Structure 1
Amino acid sequence: MWAWIILIVSGIFEAVWATALGKSEGFTKLWPTVTFFGALIISMGGLAWALRDIPTGTGYAVWVAVGASLAVIYGMVTGAESASLIKVLLLIGIVGCVIGLKIVSDHEAVMS
């Protein structure tokens, strides 16, 4: 259970570092660069910790999906990225797949 919580939080920090990376303008802006490196360390550390209990493929897929989805949502909310019905539906699909991976992992753990 804790591994999944840490994994989701790490995925959130992935969205933070990805957004900060874009705002750092090639590491020429101080605070976005500092934010990038801080969030990167937290994100990777949490991912590494979670992968002790979650299969690597599943954990990595969930981590990327959480981070990518939140980065796109942030972009749409702030106006940096256009919003459309198809993008929202695709994001819902990504979230659905993440939930599916969690359910399958739980089911496999019970079966073994």
Structure 2
Amino acid sequence: MSPAIAWLLLVVGGLFEIGFTTCLRFVDGFRNLPWTLAFLVSVSISMGLLAIAARAIPMGTAYAVWTGIGALGTVMVGILWFGEPLGAARLLLLIGLIACIIGLRLVAG
């Protein structure tokens, strides 16, 4: 697999991580079947894509980027859709997280 495809799969997997963490808000102890199914599908796709991407990207880098995308996206979902606060400190930390994700991509080789 080409490195470009591996990185694309990793990013898509990170986006599905945002999906499964968002679903967790609604699963209600896994009693809400539609949200539970959405969670299970999202987590399966997300981790499957991470596993595939990690064949071509160093595992530590792949995991850190995957987690970073998921964390950043989940925070953004919280801010945009659930009214969570965005203060100056939180914004600076998110910018730092973005810089770390980009930095890991640049040094991964």
TM-score under structure 1 normalisation? 0.90
1:22 alignment partner, one of 14, 25, 31 = 25
Q: Which structure 2 segments of 5+ residues have no match?
A: none
CA distance in 2, matches of 1:36, 1:27: 9
Structure 1 counterpart of 2:65: 62
Match status 1:77 vs 2:80: yes
Q: Supply the RMSD in Å over aligned alpha carbons.
A: 1.0
Q: Is there any run of 5+ residues in structure 1 with no aligned partner, and where?
A: 107-112
Provide the C-alpha distance between the structure 1 equivalents of 2:39 and 2:57, rounded to a whole number of angstroms: 25
Report the TM-score, using the length of structure 2 for normalisation.
0.93
1:42 paired residue among 42, 45, 52? 45
Identity of aligned residues (%): 42
Aligned residue-pair number? 106
Hey, what does 2:93 align to over in structure 1?
90
Deviation at 1:30, TM superposition (A): 1.5
**For residue 90 of structure 1, what is the amino acid of its counterpart?**
L
CA gap of 1:37–1:80, structure 2 versus 1, over 3 A, is farther
